[in-house]
Amino acid sequence: MKKCIVILSLLLLTAAMCHGQSGRTVTGTPMFYEVDEQGDTTFIDTLDPIWVFPKGRTMKGNDWRKYYKMVYNFNKVYPYALVGRKMMAQVDSTIAADVTKKSQRSAYIHDVQRELLKTFEKDIRSMTISQGLVLVKLVDRETGLNPYEIIKTYVSGFAANFWQLVAKLFSQDLKTRYDPKGADSQLEELVKIWDSGQWNSFYYSIFMEYPKKTVIEHTTLNSSVNRKGSK
């Protein structure tokens, strides 16, 4: 409760300082001060940059908690979606340039899958279910393919249908598309804040600490097409 009051106080203070402006970052370091009976001024502390939410934002307490959880999860998994987009582009360009046989393509995709499993299995297993769901949505956004289309394109239609059936058993749908103007509008808002370079101050305004960076050591693939026996 105390933390919520502090956050609300800082937001109200900054909103008052930026009256008439919305959805912007305060980049200065305004100082708190008090004036005693003799008129002497004592400076108390400085204020870190914080984000001012746009006017008209109305959510209930439980909705805010869900939103904060989404922000936290987004911060952790979005870098993986960006790397996924980069690696998928690498796979597509490699197939277009070097693959001349169906057997080569299958072998290359198999090698890529093994490399991805070795590189990211530990990271993915450490994610929560909600983080995994956010990652799936963001991968769709960055690659233009939902999970079903990715499996069908790079593995097989049979595999895609099998995993779609499994997903249905858990009330999920691999064919669901990322909807930036509907169900995923809040995620889209977070992406835009990230792209604007204002993510740190936005995150700080919610959690009163700067975000932990997700460090991904391997951002490119080492797998290559085996050209042995190709003409």
**What DSSP string describes 122-142?**
HHHHTS-HHHHHHHHHHHHHH
Q: How many CB atoms lie within 10 A of CB 9?
A: 10
Q: Is 160 helix (H, G, I), strand (E, B) or coil?
A: helix
Q: Which residues does the chain have with pLDDT short of 50?
A: 1-35, 41, 43-47, 55-56, 230-231
Is 93 within 8 Å of 108 (Cβ atoms)?
A: no
pLDDT, tens digit (0-9, with 9 covering 90-100), for 75-97: 999 999 999 899 989 999 999 99
**Beta bridge partner(s), residue 25:** 51
Distance CA(161)–CA(94), nearest Å, equals 26
What does the H/E/C string look like for 95-121? HHHHCCCHHHHHHHHHHHHHHHHHHHH
Q: What is the CA radius of gyration of the chain?
A: 23
Burial 75-102 (b: 16+ CB within 10 A, else e): bbbbbbbbbbbebbeebeebbeeebeee
Predicted structure pTM score: 0.72
Q: How many CB atoms lie within 10 A of CB 141?
A: 19
| Per-residue pLDDT, 51 | 55
- Residue 213 has what DSSP assignment? P
Q: How many CB atoms lie within 10 A of CB 105?
A: 16
Distance CA(123)–CA(127), nearest Å, equals 7
Element (H, E) at 34: strand 31-35
pLDDT, tens digit (0-9, with 9 covering 90-100), for 194-226: 999 999 999 999 999 999 999 998 899 999 998
